[in-house]
A and B are shown apart, each in its own frame.
Chain A
C-alpha cells in the first residue's frame, strides 16, 4: 500500500485539483447565469416558469446520456473537459435558479411593502432587501450544485473530461480496487467537505437574518 501511494500520490493530488477546478468553473458560471435568471423569473412569471421547466428537464437527463448528447454538437461538444464543464453548468442551473426564485418569493410581503412605501426604487429593493434576504436560500442552491457537480464530474472522465473519474475508470479497466478507491475516496471527501463548508455559510447567513 505504501508503494502504491508513493507511485500515485502526485497524480491523485493533481487529479483532485483538476476535479475541483472543473466543478468550480462550472458552478461559478452557473451562479453567474442562474442568479440573474432566477431574479428574472420572479419578475416575469410566464417566461420564468418556462425557464424553470427547461432547467427541470435538463436535470432529469441521466448524466452519461447528457455527455453523449453534447459530444456531437459543434463548438461546445467534442471530447474533453470543455464538454464536461458545459454539462455540469447545465446540471447546476436548476438548483441555483430554483433556490433564487424561492428565496426571493419567500421575502415577507410586508417587508417588501414597507420597502416600497419608504421610497426605495425597484433596484434598491432588489439589492438592499430581496437579494440579501434570499442569500441563505441561494447559498443552499449553490451547495446542492457543488455536491451534485462533484459526483457527476467523476463520470466526465468517460468522455475525457479528466478529474478523479480518470482513476476510477482506469481502476475498473485494470480490475484494480486500489486505483478505484484512489479516485472514489478523494471525490467522496471533496463532496463532504464542500457540503460542510457551504452548510456552515448558509447557517451563518440565516442566523444573521434572524431565522432559526
Chain B
C-alpha cells in the first residue's frame, strides 16, 4: 500500500533564505497516526503545512497519496484534508452550523446530508446541534470553539487529518476531556493523521508513532512503546519534563 504522505529529502527555507527544515525524510502509512513533537521553532509546524501546500519545499519532494504536491490541484486536495489549529480560525460571522458546513458546501453536498452529518458529529463532540447550531463563535468557551473546529475538520471524512497543537490553549482538565472526545471521534473515521504538539503525553495519547524534530531535522522516529526507551538525550529531556516532581523525589 502506498504511503498517504511522503517527504523525500525535503528542505524548506524562509523567504529570507534562512533554513527551516533540512533533509526531511518521512513516510506516513495510510490510516496511521503520527505525532510530530519538538521544541518551539523545531520545524514541526512547517512540516505539517507542507502536506496541504500552505508551505512549499525549496528542495526535495512532497508526495501526497502517490502524487507529487506540485501535480495536485491544491484546492481539490485541501477539500480532502482536515486542518485543525490551536487558534481554531472559526469564521466569526458564521454560526456554529455554518462553520461546520463549510467544506461540505464547497463540495456541493445536499443540505439534508450536511445536517445529518453535522447533527451526528456535533452530538459526539457534546455540542448538540439544536442547542449550539445557531450560536456564534464569540459566544462559545475555548473548549467549545476547539470542538467546533474539530467538527468542521472531520465532517467531510477527510482522508488525511492535520492537527497543529489543537489543545494547546486549554487548561489541563479541559485539555484531557478534549483529547478523549477527539480520539473517540477519530476512531469512527479511519484517517491518516499528522499531529503536531510539544506535549509528549499528548503525543503518546493520540498517536502510535512519535517523530521528534530538532533544529529543522528529524532526530528520532520511533513507535510509541520504543520511543520511551530511546537513549537519545533530547528524548530523555522530554521524558523528564513530562514527569511529575513527586515522582522524582
Contact = CB atoms under 8 A, between A and B. Distances in A.
A113 B87 CA distance: 10
Interface string B81-110: 101010111111100000000110010000
Contacts of A120: 75, 106
Interface string A28-59: 00000000000000000000000000000000
Nearest to A107: B92
B79 A209 contact: no
Given A117-B52, A117-B54, A118-B102, A111 B91 contact: yes
B137 interface: yes
A116 B76 CA distance: 11
A116 B52 CA distance: 10
A115 B91 contact: yes
A119 B158 CA distance: 12
Given A124-B106, A210-B137, A116 B91 contact: no
Contact of A114 (B79, B83, B106): B83
A117 B91 contact: no
Interface size range of chain B in the complex: 20 to 34
A117 to B, nearest CB: 4
B93 A132 contact: yes
Contact of A118 (B76, B106, B138): B106
Nearest to B73: A119
A18 B184 CA distance: 67
B88 A118 contact: no
Interface string B45-60: 0000000101000000
B224 interface: no
Interface string B66-83: 000000000111110101
Interface string A94-127: 0000000000000010110111111111001000
A116 B78 contact: yes
A133 B92 contact: yes
A10 interface: no
Contacts of A108: 87, 89, 92
Interface of A: 108, 110-111, 113-121, 124, 129, 132-133, 208-211
Interface of B: 52, 54, 75-79, 81, 83, 85, 87-93, 102-103, 106, 136-139, 152, 162
